[in-house]
Amino acid sequence: QQDGILVGKSAQDVLERTSSIMQVALKQIDRATAITQKLSNFAKPIKEPTAQPVSVAKEMDEVLALVGHDLNIQKITITKEIDPNLPDIVVDRRQFQEVLFNLIRNAGQAIKPPGTIWVRAFVHEGRSVRIEIQDTGSGMNPETLAKIYNPFFTTKEPGKGTGLGLFIVRQIVERNRGRIAVESTLGKGTTFSLEFPIGKPEPAAVTAA
């Protein structure tokens, strides 16, 4: 190659080289678009949740219908353990689905097939609904675990993650009166836990003038 010109190459070689460069460029454009979209969401506050009674089992089934096919192709098994008498939680339905989708997709991406994802939901201490998403993935060391909610931090390969997913997930959970926690062991897997209170939010106290 001299001054940007491929010397001694056939037209087919040039086309293949150009096609390869274009594919790399398009992947980078897609990643830049994803980051721009995430930044747009990051720059403005998450909208106020539209709280309504939501069935955890029903929303979980809808999310698994979206991601289950890809996980099955990758030989990743999903095992559900959902309490059949689980009470509804009061959250923004779409935001709740987004949280489940991100956590289950992340669990799948952390697994080197074959593997398993366990999805559990049960009443915790009579006051909240607890949801656990556990995977048999690569796990994380304490140093990585301490950074997972930081904006732009990602454990994925270059070009495969923006590093904003878990940051936004935590914001959504907390805006819906929930809590998120994580436990992970390097080489064994990771468990994310969500907790949402049972019942409607307490009305704000009115202070006498």
Q: Residue 150 and residue 140: Cα distance in Å, rounded?
A: 15
Non-local (6+) Cβ contacts of 33 within 8 A are none
pLDDT at 43 over 50: no
pLDDT of residue 85: 93
CB atoms within 10 A of CB 53: 12
Domains in the chain, CATH or no CATH each: 51-197 (3.30.565.10)
The model's pTM is 0.72
Q: Which residue has better confidence, 58 or 206?
A: 58
